[in-house]
Amino acid sequence: MTDQNYFSQYGKITHPGPYTNLYTGLPADLPALVRVVQGLMVHVFWGERYGLDLSEERKAEVQLRTTERRLARILELDPGPLTAPRPNEQKIVGNCRDFAVTLASMLQSKGIPARPRCGFGTYFLPNHYEDHWVCECWNEAQQRWVLVDAQLDELQRNVLETSFNPLDVPRDQFIVGGAAWKMCRSGQANPDQFGIFDMHGMDFVKGDFIRDVAALNKVELLPWDCWGMIFVDYATLPPDDLSMLDRLADLTSADVHEFAMVRQLYESDPRLRVSESIQSYVNGNMERVQL
């Protein structure tokens, strides 16, 4: 199976389940699909900008891990077709990861290779690399992978004063996890500039790096889901582990030319591979979750 074939098919997280029929009327072109996603979802941290006072119950929609569960909730809020933009108060609440996963699922429904990527955006705060997800999709005409930030609608682009096209985010504006690891390991960047809120540093970079590797293997978990090597302090990693992670970063820091090697490393190493049971932070508490 080629990389393009692999990523043009649903994974466990992106599969719409019994809601596959909802995708029948979706447009096939990327700009229109991004508009569909934006018409269904509002970012949990941007609610006030859209005139919303989100309740804790509504904010909890960010815990919906799979596309199937999110589609079910979308229909509960508004049973109309997905192509009908919802009023802000009837949009499902999500975060950057949810925009990326939803877009990837819709692209895959059209047979277009797509994969959510976990890393850091440079366009949210000055001199800072913000914890973020985008969707990477295959541009057949140009024969290359492009980064798409479906979260950045007109309002957000105006507030952030972005100068680039969110349908083709430059790779120095969104830094995938492996590239961030390499930048910090080499001293090119300060790891304390990578993170979100009061969370930052090499262990945060390592967490996003490992989540990106899992996402490349079609396990696109929540930003606060944890397993394996995510729990191991960077300062205590032995040389062999650091060497393995450096190699993996080399393989995943761009558009992943050697995906077969990435897949082999992920599948063969339980420290990287997501098991059926993980731990997740929910309301400030660590809980065991069955996938």
Q: Tell me: the pLDDT tens digits for 35-64?
A: 999 999 999 999 999 999 999 999 999 999
If you average pLDDT over residues 133-143, what whole number do you get?
96
Q: Which of 242, 223, 227 minimizes the C-alpha distance to 117?
A: 223
Cα–chain center distance at 288: 21
Dihedral, CA of residue 162, residue 166, residue 168 and residue 170, to nearest 10: 30
If you average pLDDT over residues 253-257, what whole number do you get?
90
Inter-CA distances, 27 with 30, 36, 37, 106, 236, Å: 8, 9, 11, 9, 49
- The answer to pTM > 0.95 is yes
Q: How many angstroms separate the CA atoms of 219 and 212, rounded?
A: 9
pLDDT band, very low/low/confident/very high, at 284 (cuts 50, 70, 90): confident
**Residue 167 in tokens:** 């349908």
Q: How many angstroms separate the CA atoms of 271 and 116, rounded?
A: 21
**Residue 85 in tokens:** 């933009």
Task: Say if residues 104 and 114 touch (Cβ distance below 8 Å).
Answer: yes
Residue 282 is predicted with a pLDDT of 84
User: Could you say which DSSP state residue 94 is in?
Assistant: E
Q: How many angstroms separate the CA atoms of 121 and 128, rounded?
A: 8
For the stretch 90-102, pLDDT in tens is 999 999 999 999 9
**Residue 144 in tokens:** 């290359």
The Cα angle at residue 7 between residues 221 and 118, in degrees rounded to 5: 35
pLDDT band, very low/low/confident/very high, at 1 (cuts 50, 70, 90): low
Q: Is 76 exposed, middle or buried, given 0-12, 13-18 or 19+ CB atoms closer than 10 A?
A: exposed
Q: How many angstroms separate the CA atoms of 42 and 189, rounded?
A: 32
